[in-house]
Amino acid sequence: MQEVEIPRQLQFGSLRIQPAVVLAPMAGVTDTVFRRFIRHLSGCGLIMTEFTSSHGIVANHASASPKARRTPFNYLYYEPDEHPIVAQLFGADPNVLADAARVVEDLGFDGVDMNFGCPVKKVVKCNGGSGLLRDLPAVEQILKTIRSAVKIPFTCKFRTGWDDRSIVVAQMGRIAEDCGLQGVSLHGRTRQQGYAGKSNWDRIAELKQAVRIPVVGNGDVFSPEDCVRMFRHTGCDGVMIGRAASSNPWIFQQIQQYLETGSYDQPSERQRCQLLRDYYRTLLEDSGKISGSPLGKMKQFATYFTRGMANGAQLRKSVHRSASTEQVLDCVETHFREHVAMAA
C-alpha cells in the first residue's frame, strides 16, 4: 500500500481543526464537563456536543425570554474554552432543523453538524438519525434547507447505509457536497449493525474517492496505532474518536505523542485516580449545566473509566452501590488511599 502522509490539520470551510482528530458526539457522554476534560488534556482538534433534538431547541428558544435565549439549555451549554466546538442536531423536519441551526449559530458555535447516524430505535422510528438513510430525497431537502439558513460551517455524519443491501456511502457524500456542506464524517457500520461487528474502513476510503470535501473516518479507533492505520488505510482527512475517549480520555494526547515520537505514555494510576476525583468534583460544581442527575453521571463514568485501573472492579462496585454523591466521593477517596497513595 502506498504510504499516506498523516494530515496535521483539517479544514471545514473557515473552521481550521488542528490536530485533525475529533471527539465524536456521544449521547449522555459529551456534555460540557466531559468536553472540557478532553480539551484540557490536549490533542483534540474539535469537540462536539451530544446530538440534540432540533424540536427541543426550537421549543426551548420559543418559550424563553429574550435575555434567556442567550443561555442555551443544557445540551447546548458550553464554556468559552471549549472552542472550536460544533453542535450536532437530529430531526427530520427541514424547517425545524433550519430554525435550530440558526439558534446554534446565534449561540456562537463554530459549526453545525447533522446526524444521520444514530441507530437508536426511538430516534429511527421518527425517521431521525440513520432512519433517514432510507430516504435520500429527504436528506437532500434537509441539507439544502439548513445550508440556506446559516453561514457557519455545516457538516454531516452518517453510517454506510441501513443494512448491507442498501449501502449509500457515495450517494450521501455527493448529496452533501452538492448541497454546499464543508465536510462529512462516516461511521463504517450500517444501522443494522449498531455497534456490533467491525467498522468497514473500505467504505470510508470509498467516500474519500467519491467527494472533494474533507472526509472524517469513524469507528473502531481504540489506540494511537488504530488512528494511524485508519489514516493510511482510507486516506481520510481526519479521524473521529468516540467510545475509546470515554474510557481513555488521554487518547488524543497519546495520538499526538505517537505521531511525533513513535511512542506514547500511559497514564499512571495516580493520574487516572486524580482525573476521576476531579471529574466528579467538577460534575457536582457544574450540575446545573448538564442533563441528567450527577449521581447517575458518576456511576456511568465509573463504568467507562475504571476499566483497566488497579482494583477497578472493586471501585466500580462501590460506586454503583452508592446512594448519594457524597458516598461516591468517599469511595474514590478510599480507593486513592488504599490502592494509589500507598503504592506511590
Active site residues: 118
C-alpha cell at 294: 450527577
- The distance from CA 283 to its chain's CA centroid, rounded to whole angstroms, is 19
End-to-end alpha-carbon separation of the chain, Å? 46
The DSSP call for residue 266 is: P
- Residue 109 in 3-state DSSP? coil
Q: In the chain, at which residue ranges do the beta strands (DSSP E only) sit?
A: 10-12, 15-17, 21-23, 47-48, 52-53, 85-90, 111-116, 154-159, 183-187, 215-218, 238-241
φ/ψ of residue 200, rounded to 5: -90, 95
The DSSP call for residue 67 is: T
342 Cβ neighbours under 8 A, 6+ residues apart: none
DSSP-derived pairing of the beta strands 10-12 and 111-116: unpaired
The DSSP call for residue 219 is: S
The DSSP call for residue 52 is: E
C-alpha cell at 54: 432540533
Contact present, 135 and 124 (Cβ < 8 Å): no
